[in-house]
Chain A
Amino acid sequence: DGGITQSPKYLFRKEGQNVTLSCEQNLNHDAMYWYRQDPGQGLRLIYYSQIVNDFQKGDIAEGYSVSREKKESFPLTVTSAQKNPTAFYLCASSPEGASLAYTEAFFGQGTRLTVV
């Protein structure tokens, strides 16, 4: 079955450590996105990528990094520079190369990161 897989579902890390969240899709989608979701707030865009080897910062990119070496994969690294990393992270992809503005997004199941 085609879909987006995020792993792990729950992740605990000590403060000051970098951590990488995995996102893999087998939908042959060009565009992939990382969002952060906090209670009482809308989804906020961290990074997005429309093609392999290219990505752009979203609204809250500080303290995060990404790579897009393969079409299927878009890992997100939460660095120690991120001041408040505890959150629910969602990865998404869309079938159109342009933007989620034109089509529905397909989301992964999310990773809940807790930094202690």
Chain B
Amino acid sequence: GQNIDQPTEMTATEGAIVQINCTYQTSGFNGLFWYQQHAGEAPTFLSYNVLDGLEEKGRFSSFLSRSKGYSYLLLKELQMKDSASYLCAVVDSNYQLIWGAGTKLIIKP
């Protein structure tokens, strides 16, 4: 079967750095997305990785290792507004999106 694993919940302090991991076992790989979703709202696009390495975009960075079936989202200089769920989604060999359950990030002052 296909599986995406993310921690259910993480807590971090305002101003700090947090890394949210995503591991996957899928039938093939054609890219990985990260989305942010505030409670009761629409997910919004954060990043897309298809090649190994780190993609940096402001305070957010996303890393991919295809050989390890592993990605992480790195959030720097955390702000209270970063409290949200972070969804990892992998594109499989059939170009279908497989979604993780999401990681709820709680930011404390």
Contacts and interface: CB of A to CB of B under 8 A. Distances in A.
B42 A110 contact: yes
Contact of B45 (A42, A98, A104, A108): A104
A74 B98 CA distance: 22
B4 A112 contact: no
A14 to B, nearest CB: 23
Contacts of B101: 40-42
B97 A45 contact: yes
B86 to A, nearest CB: 12
A109 B91 contact: no
A104 B48 contact: yes
Chain B contact-residue range equals 20 to 34
B43 A107 contact: yes
Contacts, number: 50
Contact of B87 (A43, A104, A108, A112): A43
Contact of B30 (A90, A101, A108): A101
Interface in B1-42: 4, 8, 30-31, 33, 35, 40-42
B99 A101 contact: no
A90 B91 contact: no
A99 B48 CA distance: 14
A90 B40 CA distance: 10
A43 B99 contact: yes
Nearest to B85: A37
B23 to A, nearest CB: 14
Interface in B24-73: 30-31, 33, 35, 40-45, 48
Interface string A89-116: 0100000001111101101111010000
B87 A42 contact: yes
A54 to B, nearest CB: 17
A109 B87 contact: no
Given A90-B42, A110-B42, A40 B8 contact: yes
Contact of A100 (B8, B44, B97): B97
